[in-house]
């Protein structure tokens, strides 16, 4: 991953939630990255029975993720820059796509592909599932993903 994208993800979880799908394509130019992040992150969230369950349950049902990124929150520090909080604050983001689930003989049309970003706690509990769409049509992406994921 390009260093500037990694810093953006590490420094701002809100920005990550709004731009999670674009980060997967780190080679995209910055203009395309900005265009892919126009939708409201809250509107991208999917209601699913997997919220609160483990990622193992999701991936057993739907197959493995395409990519995993660890997000590290900033540790709490005092005025002398000494670390005050020593617990592991990591969260993981899994990227999953329905387009990779079909055989090469029957490629899935890109209009039918569901791309998801799944934010989890360090313990593996799913916190948020969001539909991802590079074209900015988040409502259509949510509808596609709702048809794939229960």
Residue 96: what pLDDT? Answer: 93
Sketch the domain layout of the chain as residue ranges.
3-148
Joined together, the tokens standing for residue 37 give 């992040």
User: Residue 91: which of 123, 53, 129 has the closest Cα?
Assistant: 123
**Per residue of the chain (150 residues), what is the pLDDT tens digit?**
444 444 444 443 433 443 444 443 343 333 333 334 444 555 789 899 999 999 999 999 999 999 988 776 667 788 898 877 666 657 889 999 988 765 556 666 667 788 999 999 888 899 999 998 877 788 888 988 888 888
**What is the rounded distance in angstroms from the CA atom of residue 122 to the CA atom of residue 81?**
25
Contacts of 97 (CB under 8 A, 6+ apart): 66, 113, 114, 115, 116
Residue 12: what pLDDT? Answer: 38
Query: Could you tell me the pTM of the whole model?
Result: 0.61
Phi, psi of 131 (to 5 degrees): -75, 145
**Packed helices 3-11 and 13-23: angle between N→C axes, nearest 10 degrees:** 140
Strands 115-121 and 67-71: unpaired
Contacts of 120 (CB under 8 A, 6+ apart): 55, 91, 92, 93, 94, 126, 127
**What is the rounded distance in angstroms from the CA atom of residue 22 to the CA atom of residue 5?**
10
């Amino acid at each position: 991953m390009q260093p500037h994208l990694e810093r953006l993800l590490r420094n701002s979880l809100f920005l990550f939630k709004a731009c999670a799908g674009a980060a997967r394509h780190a080679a995209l130019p910055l203009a395309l990255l900005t265009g892919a992040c126009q939708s409201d992150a809250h509107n991208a969230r999917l209601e699913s029975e997997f919220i609160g369950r483990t990622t193992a349950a999701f991936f057993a049902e739907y197959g493995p993720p395409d990519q995993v990124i660890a997000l590290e929150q900033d540790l709490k520090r005092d005025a002398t820059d000494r670390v005050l909080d020593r617990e592991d604050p990591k969260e993981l983001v899994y990227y999953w796509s329905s387009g990779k689930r079909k055989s090469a003989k029957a490629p899935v049309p890109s209009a039918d592909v569901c791309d998801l970003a799944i934010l989890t706690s360090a313990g593996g509990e799913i916190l948020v599932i969001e539909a991802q769409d590079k074209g900015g049509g988040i409502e259509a992406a949510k509808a596609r993903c709702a048809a794939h994921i229960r």
